[in-house]
């Protein structure tokens, strides 16, 4: 069965410091991995994805994520956090084989707070 774990409900970081939001996954076959961000009263906004190729993927707003197959992880990172990055972050996975039209499995979300 497919699943995603985000072990931290909250991450707090000072502005200008690097940030990491953790995600591990379990999936049949090769994973397709996604990060979404949700601001208050807004829908989930796509940040980045890993499908294949380079393990380090870059996305919107300076975010990047590193795919680690041996650790089944896909942690979200940013070298220098901004107060405006404060939001709820969701990791999601879809099985790369034997699935139909893209059913996503989500983690519980991690609330990121960047303080000035």
Residues that bind other proteins (CB under 8 A): 32, 34, 36, 41-46, 49, 51, 90, 92, 94-96, 99-109
Q: Could you give the CA distance from residue 93 to residue 68 in angstroms, rounded to a whole number?
A: 14
Task: Output the DSSP codes for 17-80.
Answer: S-EEE--EEE-SSSEEEEEEEE-TTS-EEEEEEE-SS-SEEE-GGG-EEEEETTTTEEEEEESS
Nearer to other proteins, 16 or 97 (CB): 97
Nearer to other proteins, 87 or 92 (CB): 92
In the bound complex, what is the minimum distance in angstroms from residue 69's beta carbon to other proteins?
17
Which lies closer to other proteins via its Cβ, residue 43 or residue 116?
Answer: 43
| Smallest distance, other proteins to C-beta of residue 13, A | 23
CB of 77 to other proteins, least distance (A): 19
Q: How far is CA 81 from the centre of its chain?
A: 15
């Amino acid at each position: 069965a497919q699943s995603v774990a985000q072990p931290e409900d909250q991450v707090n970081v000072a502005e200008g410091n690097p940030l990491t939001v953790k995600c591990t996954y379990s999936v049949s076959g090769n994973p397709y991995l996604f990060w979404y961000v949700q601001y208050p009263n807004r829908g989930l906004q796509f940040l980045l994805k890993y499908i294949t190729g380079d393990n380090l993927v870059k996305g919107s707003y300076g975010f990047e994520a590193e795919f680690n197959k041996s650790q089944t992880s896909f942690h979200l990172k940013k070298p220098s956090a901004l107060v405006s990055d404060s939001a709820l972050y969701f990791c999601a996975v879809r099985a790369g084989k034997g699935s139909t039209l893209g059913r996503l499995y989500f983690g519980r979300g991690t609330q990121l707070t960047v303080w000035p």
